[in-house]
């Protein structure tokens, strides 16, 4: 068996189901079909904070053409939890 080299890791947030959408009071037009991002993107979003931890709830994975796609849970158990703390000032 040969190992395939992973060039990139993506996080895939699946489509929100109608039951979850209703619980979140989201209008039909605001339903998210699918959202794909990377850990680097998440770190960039919170660049004004120190990230203490990033916890992922992974429900599956797919590897194609050097890209590993981690499918995150969307059934209300989380998906990703980011623990932030204030940015420390360097001298």
Ranges of each domain in the chain: 8-85
Kindly report the pTM of this predicted structure. Answer: 0.62
What does the alpha-carbon distance between residue 43 and residue 54 come to, in Å, rounded to a whole number?
Answer: 9
pLDDT in tens, 34-59: 678 888 998 899 999 999 998 888 88
What burial class does residue 21 get, using C-beta atoms within 10 Å of its C-beta: 0-12 exposed, 13-18 middle, 19+ buried? middle
At 72 the pLDDT is 83
């Amino acid at each position: 068996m040969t190992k395939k080299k992973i060039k990139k890791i993506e996080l895939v947030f699946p489509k929100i189901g109608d039951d979850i959408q209703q619980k979140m009071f989201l209008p039909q037009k605001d339903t998210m079909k699918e959202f794909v991002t990377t850990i680097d993107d998440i770190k960039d979003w919170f660049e004004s904070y120190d990230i203490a931890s990033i916890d992922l709830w992974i429900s599956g994975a797919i590897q194609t053409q050097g890209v590993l796609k981690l499918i995150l849970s969307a059934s209300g158990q989380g998906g990703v939890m980011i623990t932030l703390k204030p940015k420390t000032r360097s001298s």
